[in-house]
Amino acid sequence: MRLAPFPSGPLHVGNARMVILNDYYVKRYKGELILVFDDTIGSSEKIVETEAFDLIPDGLKYLGVEWHKTVYKSDRLDLFYKYAVDLIKRKEAYVCDCDAKVWRKEHKIKGIPCACRFLSVEENLARWEKMLDGTYPERAAAVRLKTGMDNPDPAMRDHVILRISETEHPRVGTKYRVWPLLEYSWGIDDHELGISHIIRGKDLVKEGKIEQHIWNIYGWQHPELLYYGRLKFQDATLSKSKSSKEVREGIYTGWEDPRTWSLQSLERRGIDPRAIRKVMLDLGLSLVDISISMKSVYSENRKLRDAEAPRVFFVEDPIWAKAEQIPSNLSVADVPVHPDFPEQGVRRIAIGITNGSAVIGLSQDDLGQMKKDTLFRLKDFANFTLEKAKPPTIKMHSKDVEEVRKINGPIIHWIPRLNSVPVELTLIDGSIAHGFGEPGIKDLASGTFVQFERVGFARLNEVGATIRAAFAHK
């Protein structure tokens, strides 16, 4: 089987379907997977980006995809030329010098052949040479495959299979000026590369039919063609060209910016590749267009990683409150690393008491919902009442959690002023939440997937004087 990305940028969650489906069947039937960079010259809208040659394999490795060989379409032009000449000699193809617009209107739509279709083999071969040697400028001539002008489907009438482009190619430069189109190059390569099964999006069914036409000409065995419908995410806009532009212009921080939805960005957010794989495989292989939510990926990720995610306190944009009347024997809070696994021990958070009071950071949301005298609990520490809002002052009430449970009072997360560490948390929309994490956060390894209690899961990407983290999901 084969993976055939166009190298315009890294793979994103949407591309993951194609990749995982192929990888799944290859592994299940112990087949062979070839990574084929579909780096023909493209068009003004579809441009080959050199960095994609590295970003795509990176994404595949992240997903745990194993491929056996890498092939570049741009290395195989001579092969496509060889078959082009052969098709012309077999009178299966011809060089058409009609204007594309005129041809579409007068010939394709009406189903009437143009004069070029009846030219002799010799004349066609002469024209072919003129395409190669530069006599024809761009767009002046193209090779058409005789799929049939009388085909009831206008989409199938004598499609162009090779055309002239003088765009410089990032890998082979200006060595070639005639480039194949996708359906032709694959018609040849699916056979030449020995592909047995093709799994691709249903936007390519017409291309599949053209491939079959070519296989029939040569009497080649048909690879199995399987198509799946369009996949949309309700809560993610996937646009490689938009991302590419925003990355280039510096509006996005790079290809790991969450707004690109690249595999790199998901890795950075601590999404387990197995979560993506599970969701993609659950979709099956139907032709139906589907629209799913990233929530399913998040749900799977939670199942996979909740158990290994240490709990940490993080307060965004904290309001520093003066906490009074704390007894000196309560100078440290012992907070479980993970509530379901007591054996993982506790986080010892020093409160920082001076003269019976300390400074504690609370979230604006929590504080905003409290009235004077509200009884609440600083989670895993002690109960307090709100004395006054400005300046924010809270007073120790009791230690036992039952006191606050009785009245069903709020239990909130918090951080001490003492030794708390600045944290920059990149959210899914690309914005950054500034806040502080509890002192112990600086002892965690970079790459750790944590749960900021009552905030959500995140991955620590840089651990230093300031912690940089990426929000994953609730």
Partner RNA sequence: GCCCCGGUAGUGUAGACCGGCCCAGCAUCUAGGGUUUUCGACCCUAUGACCCGGGUUCGAAUCCCGGCCGGGGCACCA
Q: Which candidate, 159, 158, 166, 109, places its Cα nearest to that of 134?
A: 166
Binding of RNA at residue 292 (CB under 7 A)?
yes
Q: How far is the CB of 217 from RNA (least distance, A)?
A: 20
Using CB under 7 A as the binding criterion, the count of chain residues that bind RNA stands at: 80
Q: Which of 84, 380, 440, 463 binds RNA (CB under 7 A)?
A: 380
- Closest approach, Cβ 458 to RNA, in A, equals 12
CA distances from 385 to 142, 293, 356 (A): 80, 41, 16
Question: Interface with RNA includes 160 (CB under 7 A)?
Answer: yes
Is 37 in contact with 71 (CB distance < 8 Å)?
Answer: yes
Instruction: Find the binder of RNA among 196, 212, 293, 393 (CB under 7 A).
Output: 293
DSSP 26: H
CB 163 within 8 A of CB 96: no
* Of 252, 268, 278, the residue nearest 16 (C-alpha): 278
Q: Residue 282 or residue 462: which is nearer to RNA going by CB?
A: 282
Q: Which stretch binds RNA (CB under 7 A): 19-27, 75-83, 122-130, 204-212?
A: 204-212
Task: Kindly tell me which of 139 and 464 has the beta carbon lying closer to RNA.
Answer: 139
Does the protein bind RNA through residue 182 (CB under 7 A)? Answer: yes
Of 10, 23, 34, 40, the residue at the interface with RNA (CB under 7 A) is: 40
By CB under 7 A, name the one of 83, 94, 103, 384 that touches RNA: 103
Alpha-carbon distances of 121 from 91, 93, 114, 146, 184, rounded to whole Å: 7, 9, 16, 13, 20
Nearer to RNA, 253 or 428 (CB): 428
**Which residue of 3, 19, 20, 41 would you call a contact of RNA, by CB under 7 A?**
41
Q: How many angstroms separate the CA atoms of 52 and 44, rounded?
A: 17
CB nearer to RNA: give 339 or 464: 339
Given its phi and psi angles, is residue 208 left (phi above 0), alpha (psi -120 to 50 degrees) or beta?
A: alpha
In the bound state with RNA, the residue whose beta carbon lies nearer, of 61 and 230, is 230
* Residue 221 interacting with RNA (CB under 7 A): no
How far apart, in Å, are the Cα atoms of 312 and each of 237, 418, 438, 463?
A: 31, 16, 7, 14
Window 311-350: residues binding RNA (CB under 7 A): 311, 338-340
Check binding of 367 to RNA (CB under 7 A).
Answer: no
Show contacts with RNA in window 413-452 (CB under 7 A): 413, 451
21: nearest Cα among 386, 284, 222, 348: 284
Query: Using the rule CB under 7 A, is 411 a contact of RNA?
Result: yes
> Amino acid identity of 354?
T
| C-alpha to C-alpha distance for 102 and 264, rounded to whole angstroms | 45
Amino acid at 337: V
Shortest reach from residue 6's CB to RNA, in Å:
3
Q: Does 289 participate in binding RNA (rule CB under 7 A)?
A: yes
Residue 242 as a binder of RNA (CB under 7 A): the answer is no
